[in-house]
Every structure is written in structure tokens, then in C-alpha cells.
């Protein structure tokens, strides 16, 4: 477990210094752990666990938009679990439950426990439809059609810079909409 | 959008990272400062005898207290803007201004005084003090909260309260140069009430705007 967390810290450091592939690997690596913790939190609150994927996506968006608050000299896992815990509590509160979520819930999860299939989430997809057209088109193109920024720019007749701006704004407003719902 | 697609999208946005919270906070405070300065100079202004007042250690002490509050609250605000932090181990910073004030009060007690204690405590500007400090601090508080929105505080209400202390400390520093009541007893009473008010406003606003 210790090794796993050291690996995350290393990947996040590379990500911060501009390595998008490392960032992709990191997000892939933490997702099953977040998913298992979300399921556990939902189960304990007596909520259907099939909503866990919405919480996972909510956490991933927060990690993305707040990663500048991570101190690169500190280990990554405590920061990640603090965000995950916050989002899990938020999600349970929105569903009308208050529950104590222990940070250890995240740390305790063993690799064997986390082999869950990717479930579908509905909240992000629903809020995506409410975004301004340009942001929505860019997000659709990159997320759903797996297009690169360059291809997206060509397809939508935008500059690459404009695609990057629309992508970031789209992710930020998506997060704001999820928070306010 | 399934989670793999979301991850792919986030990775595509890796180049876009926000600036550090401290930088955002500084810019926001610099943007808000002219509004507060305008309120101060239009309505109050520096007291006319400021050159002689500067030789009074109790006049200078006011700035030590208010600046200590502003600086320690800024440090605590930046600390609390990270998701994994709490006041624990850091909250004592906020006691520094109170400590300076207590030292000032004991110092004043040991000196011969022309005015009785209650007169010094009540002073002649208590109402102005309680109105001016919140009025000057509100633009700064709005700026501070705007800057701190870049952060990810675990407890938004507490982060907002500390932002309130920061702006009250800055506002009180301005106000102290106007006010002719220099007794630490006056400061401990009325500045504290004004700061508590701004802190409460900060907590209420922080709970709404600092959630992430």
C-alpha cells in the first residue's frame, strides 16, 4: 500500500511538470480505490451503490480543478483522500443522509477489492447538456469521440488555444453545476 | 460520459493549472484595496496630529495589533485553503495579536494615567470604530473570498471566518490611523467587537462561496 501511494506521488509530480501521460495513468490508478470507497460509503448510508460512479466523477473533477493546492513536497494520498472524503460527504448530504466518513476508509482498501467494472454515471452527462454550445461541443469531441485537441480544433474550426480554453471552462462550469444541483 | 472518457478529458486539460492560491489572494486583495482606501479617505482620513501621535507608544501599538492580526490571519487562510488541513497546530497564530494586546494593557496599567480606566475603555469613538472597521473591511473581505475560491478548504465556514479576520485586521490598520483613542483597553473592546462582526460575516459567506 505504501508503494502504491509513493507511486501516486511520483506520477502526480510528473503530471504537474507537464507529463499528461503520467497524469492519465495516475487518474486511472486512483479511480478503482475511489470507487470502492464511494461504494462503501453509500452502502453504509443505506444508499444504492450504483450511484457510486457519480461520486467518483465528482471527486475526479475536484482533483483536477484543485490540484494546484497539492503541495508537491507532500505525499499525494492524504490530499487525495481529503478531497474524496469531502465529496463523498457532500454527495451523501445531498441525498439527505449525514454520515461519518473515515479517512481510513480510503487508505484501507486493498488492491484485490477494487476490481469493479466501470459503471455508468448520469450526473456529469446530464449537466454536459446544459453547458454553452461551444464548451459542450469541445467536451463531447474530446471525451466521447476521443479526439485530440488538434483534431477538435480542426473539426470545430477553432484555434487550439480556443479549444483548450473551452475545455477548461467547460470542466469548471460542469463542476459548478454539479455543486449547485 | 463514462469515467474513462472523463479521465481522458481531464488528462487533455493537464496543461491548464490554476496559479497558487496565495497569488490569487494577493491579486484579489490588491483589486479590492482601492475601494477600501476610498472609503477611508473620503469618510475618515488620517488624524491631523499623526506626527505627534507617532511618538506615543500606545498609538504605535495599535498597528502592531492590527498588522499582527492581518498577517497571522493571512498565513492561516493560506494554510486552510488546502483540503487536508485544519486549524489544529496552526490556530495559535491567531492568538498573537491578542497576546500583543494583553501585553499592551498590562503596560498601560503600570503607567500613571490621567483618565480613569472606564473612560479610556469607552473612549470617544466607539460607534465610529464599530461602523468604520466593518465598512472598510467589506470590500477586502469580498476580495479575499474571491481569491480564496481558488483553494479547497475542508471547512468553508472556518476558512471564511479567518478571511474575515484578515480583512478586519487590514481595515483596522487603516482605521487606527484615524482614531484618537489609543488606549489598549479601547482597542481590546471596540476593535474586537468590530473584528468579531466581520469574522461572523466571513463565516456566513465562506460557508456559501468557499465550497468546492
A131 touches chain B (CB under 8 A): no
Helix axes A20-44, A76-94, angle to 10 degrees: 40
Q: Measured between beta carbons, which residues in chain A are less than 8 angstroms from residue B83?
A: 66, 69, 79, 82-83, 86
Kindly list the distances between the CA atom of residue B146 and the CA atoms of A49, A142, A174, B164, B188, in Å, as whole numbers in the listed order: 36, 30, 19, 12, 29
Higher pLDDT, B50 or B169: B169
CA distance B163 to chain A (A): 17
pLDDT tens digit sequence for A156-172: 999 999 999 999 999 99
Place of cell 490611523: B177
pLDDT tens digit sequence for B29-67: 999 999 999 999 999 999 999 888 889 999 999 999 999
pLDDT tens digit sequence for A111-126: 545 545 555 678 888 8
Chain A interface test: which of B2, B4, B8, B9 (most A C-beta within 10 Å)? B9
Q: Which of A88-92, A93-97, A149-153, B142-146 has the highest average model confidence (pLDDT)?
A: B142-146
DSSP characters over B130-194: HHHHHHHHHHHHHHHHHHHTTS--SSHHHHHHHHHHHHHHHHHHHHHTT-----HHHIIIIIHHH
- Predicted confidence at residue A9, as pLDDT, reads 96
B122: pLDDT confidence band, cut at 50, 70 and 90?
A: confident
Question: Which among A18, A68, A124 has the least Cβ separation from residue B15?
Answer: A18
Q: Is A113 exposed, middle or buried (0-12, 13-18, 19+ CB in 10 A)?
A: middle
Q: Looking at this predicted complex, what is its ipTM? A: 0.88
A141: pLDDT confidence band, cut at 50, 70 and 90?
A: very high
pLDDT tens digit sequence for A79-100: 999 999 999 998 888 877 555 5
Amino acid at each position: 500500500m505504501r508503494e502504491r501511494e509513493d507511486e501516486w506521488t511520483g506520477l502526480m509530480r510528473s503530471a504537474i511538470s507537464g507529463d499528461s501521460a503520467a497524469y492519465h495513468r495516475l487518474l486511472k490508478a486512483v479511480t478503482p480505490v475511489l470507487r470502492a470507497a464511494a461504494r462503501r460509503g453509500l452502502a453504509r448510508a443505506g444508499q444504492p451503490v450504483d450511484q457510486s460512479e457519480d461520486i467518483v466523477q465528482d471527486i475526479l473533477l475536484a482533483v483536477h480543478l484543485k490540484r494546484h493546492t497539492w503541495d508537491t513536497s507532500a505525499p499525494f494520498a492524504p490530499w487525495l483522500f481529503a478531497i474524496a472524503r469531502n465529496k463523498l460527504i457532500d454527495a451523501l448530504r445531498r441525498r439527505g443522509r449525514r454520515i461519518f466518513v473515515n479517512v481510513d476508509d480510503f487508505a484501507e482498501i486493498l488492491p484485490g477489492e477494487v476490481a469493479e467494472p466501470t459503471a455508468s454515471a448520469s450526473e456529469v452527462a446530464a449537466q454536459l447538456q446544459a453547458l454553452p454550445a461551444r464548451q459542450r461541443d469541445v467536451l463531447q469531441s474530446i471525451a466521447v469521440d476521443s479526439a485530440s485537441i488538434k483534431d477538435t480544433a480542426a473539426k470545430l474550426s477553432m484555434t487550439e488555444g480556443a479549444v483548450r480554453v473551452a475545455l477548461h471552462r467547460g470542466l469548471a462550469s460542469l463542476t459548478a453545476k454539479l455543486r449547485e444541483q | 460520459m463514462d469515467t474513462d472518457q472523463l479521465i481522458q478529458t481531464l488528462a487533455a486539460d493537464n496543461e491548464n493549472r490554476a496559479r497558487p492560491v496565495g497569488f490569487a489572494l494577493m491579486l484579489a486583495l490588491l483589486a479590492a484595496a482601492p475601494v477600501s482606501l476610498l472609503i477611508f479617505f473620503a469618510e475618515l482620513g488620517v488624524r491631523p496630529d499623526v506626527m505627534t501621535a507617532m511618538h506615543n507608544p500606545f498609538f504605535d501599538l495599535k498597528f502592531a495589533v492590527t498588522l499582527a492580526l492581518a498577517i497571522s490571519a493571512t498565513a492561516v487562510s493560506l494554510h486552510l485553503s488546502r483540503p487536508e488541513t485544519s486549524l489544529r497546530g496552526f490556530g495559535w497564530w491567531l492568538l498573537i495579536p491578542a497576546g500583543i494586546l494583553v501585553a499592551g494593557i498590562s503596560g498601560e496599567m503600570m503607567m500613571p494615567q490621567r483618565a480613569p480606566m472606564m473612560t479610556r475603555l469607552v473612549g470617544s469613538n466607539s460607534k465610529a470604530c464599530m461602523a468604520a472597521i466593518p465598512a472598510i473591511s467589506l470590500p477586502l473581505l469580498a476580495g479575499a473570498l474571491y481569491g480564496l475560491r481558488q483553494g479547497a478548504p475542508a471547512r468553508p465556514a472556518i476558512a471564511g471566518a479567518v478571511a474575515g479576520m484578515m480583512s478586519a485586521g487590514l481595515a483596522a490598520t487603516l482605521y487606527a490611523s484615524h482614531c484618537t483613542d489609543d488606549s489598549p483597553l479601547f482597542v481590546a473592546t471596540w476593535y474586537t467587537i468590530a473584528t468579531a462582526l466581520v469574522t461572523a460575516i466571513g463565516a456566513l459567506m465562506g460557508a456559501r462561496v468557499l465550497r468546492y
